[in-house]
C-alpha cells in the first residue's frame, strides 16, 4: 500500500509538471512582447522637421484583434491607433501631426506600429506610452521625450542706483524647458538670489536678481550668470566685471530696455513703475556726472 501511494504521488507530480509546461508553451505561442522601444529623450526644436517613435514587437501564431495604440502622458489620452485590419488614425494632440503613410516594416502585422511626428513643438514634450495587444495578450512600454529650445536672449545686467550697492540681474527669454539661472562670483554662489519664471506661448522667461553691498565685494568683482537646462544637458554662461564705488566709477550703465527686461517676468504694475523709475534715475545720474 505504501509503495502504491508513493507511485501515485510521483505520477500526479509528473502530470502537474507536464501540464504547467504545456500551459507555458501555449502562452508563449500567443504572447505579445515589445522587444524594441525607441523614443528620443531630447530633440532640439528647429534642428529636424520630424521625429520617429518606434514600438517593435514579436507576436505568436494567433493574432486576433492585433492593435497598436500610442498614448501621451496618460493612458486616458490616446494619440494614435492602428488596428491591423484598418488604416492608422491620429488622435488628440497629434491629430494632423503624424505621417499616416509612414511604414516602419514590410510585415503586414507590424507595418504601422511607429509614429513619424511632424510639426514639432514644445507642446508634444511628455511621456509616450505604447500598448500592443491582441484579444489574448498585451504589452506596454513608456518613455519621456522633451523638445528642447535654447534661449533667444540672455543678458547679465549691473544696475547701480546708489553709491553703496549694486543690483545684479540675469535674464533669459525663449527657452524650454524652464531654465535654471544662477548668479555667482568665481569664489562662490551668491545667496539671497530672487528667481522669477513665466511661461508665455510655450517658452519660458526667467530672471534671477540679487542686491549686493560694495563693502562685501573685491575690486574689481566678477559676476557669472549660468543658464542650465538639465533635461537637455545644456548650459551657457555670461560674465561681467564690476568696480565697486560711487556711481560715477561704474563703467556701464543699464538702459531703460535692460530694466524693463528685468522687470518683465512676473512683475506687477508697481514693479514695472519701480523699474522704470530706477532706470530713469540711473540715466539721470549718468548725465549729471558726465
128-186: per-residue pLDDT in tens? Answer: 999 999 999 999 999 999 999 999 999 999 998 888 999 999 999 999 999 999 999 99
The CATH label, of 3.40.140.10, 2.30.30.240, 1.20.1530.20, 2.60.40.10, for the domain at 153-289 is: 2.60.40.10
Tally Cβ neighbours within 10 Å of residue 125: 22
Instruction: Give the SS3 label for residue 219.
Output: coil
The C-alpha cell of 37 is what? 522601444
Using 50, 70 and 90 to split pLDDT, how confident is the model at 29? very low
Instruction: Give the SS3 label for residue 180.
Output: strand
**pLDDT over 80 (residue 192):** yes
Domain with CATH 2.60.40.10 in the chain: 35-148, 153-289
State the virtual CA torsion across 91, 97, 102, 108 in degrees, nearest 10. 0
CB 121 within 8 A of CB 94: no
pLDDT, averaged across the chain: 82
Please give the distance of CA 22 from its chain centroid, rounded to a whole number.
Answer: 47
Sign of the CA dihedral with 232 first, then 233, 234, and 235 last: positive
Using 50, 70 and 90 to split pLDDT, how confident is the model at 247? confident
pTM recorded for the entire structure:
0.74
Strands 50-58 and 33-38, by their bridges, are: antiparallel
> In whole angstroms, what is the distance from residue 207 CA to residue 154 CA?
10
- CATH 2.60.40.10 matches 35-148: yes
Tally Cβ neighbours within 10 Å of residue 154: 20
Cell 524594441 found at:
36
**Percent of the chain scoring above 90 in pLDDT:** 68
Amino acid at each position: 500500500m505504501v509503495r502504491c501511494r508513493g507511485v501515485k504521488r510521483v505520477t500526479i507530480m509528473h502530470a502537474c509538471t507536464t501540464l504547467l509546461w504545456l500551459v507555458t508553451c501555449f502562452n508563449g505561442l500567443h504572447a505579445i512582447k515589445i522587444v524594441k522601444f525607441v523614443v528620443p529623450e531630447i530633440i532640439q526644436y528647429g534642428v529636424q522637421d520630424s521625429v520617429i517613435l518606434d514600438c517593435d514587437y514579436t507576436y505568436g501564431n494567433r493574432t486576433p484583434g492585433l492593435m497598436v495604440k500610442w498614448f501621451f502622458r496618460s493612458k486616458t489620452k490616446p494619440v494614435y491607433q492602428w488596428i491591423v485590419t484598418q488604416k492608422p488614425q491620429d488622435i488628440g494632440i497629434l491629430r494632423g501631426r503624424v505621417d499616416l503613410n509612414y511604414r516602419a516594416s514590410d510585415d503586414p502585422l507590424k507595418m504601422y506600429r511607429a509614429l513619424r511626428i511632424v510639426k514639432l513643438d514644445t507642446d508634444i514634450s511628455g511621456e509616450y506610452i505604447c500598448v500592443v495587444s491582441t484579444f489574448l495578450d498585451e504589452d506596454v512600454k513608456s518613455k519621456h521625450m522633451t523638445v528642447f529650445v535654447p534661449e533667444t536672449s540672455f543678458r547679465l545686467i549691473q544696475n547701480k542706483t546708489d553709491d553703496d550697492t549694486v543690483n545684479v540681474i540675469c535674464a533669459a527669454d525663449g527657452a524650454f524647458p524652464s531654465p535654471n539661472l544662477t548668479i555667482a562670483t568665481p569664489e562662490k554662489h551668491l545667496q539671497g538670489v530672487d528667481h522669477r519664471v513665466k511661461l508665455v506661448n510655450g517658452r519660458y522667461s526667467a530672471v534671477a536678481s540679487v542686491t549686493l553691498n560694495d563693502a562685501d565685494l573685491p575690486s574689481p568683482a566678477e559676476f557669472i550668470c549660468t543658464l542650465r537646462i538639465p533635461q537637455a544637458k545644456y548650459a551657457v554662461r555670461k560674465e561681467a566685471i564690476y568696480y565697486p564705488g560711487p556711481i560715477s566709477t561704474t563703467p556701464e550703465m543699464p538702459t531703460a530696455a535692460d530694466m524693463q527686461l528685468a522687470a518683465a517676468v512676473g512683475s506687477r504694475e508697481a514693479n514695472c513703475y519701480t523699474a522704470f523709475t530706477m532706470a530713469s534715475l540711473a540715466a539721470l545720474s549718468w548725465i549729471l556726472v558726465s
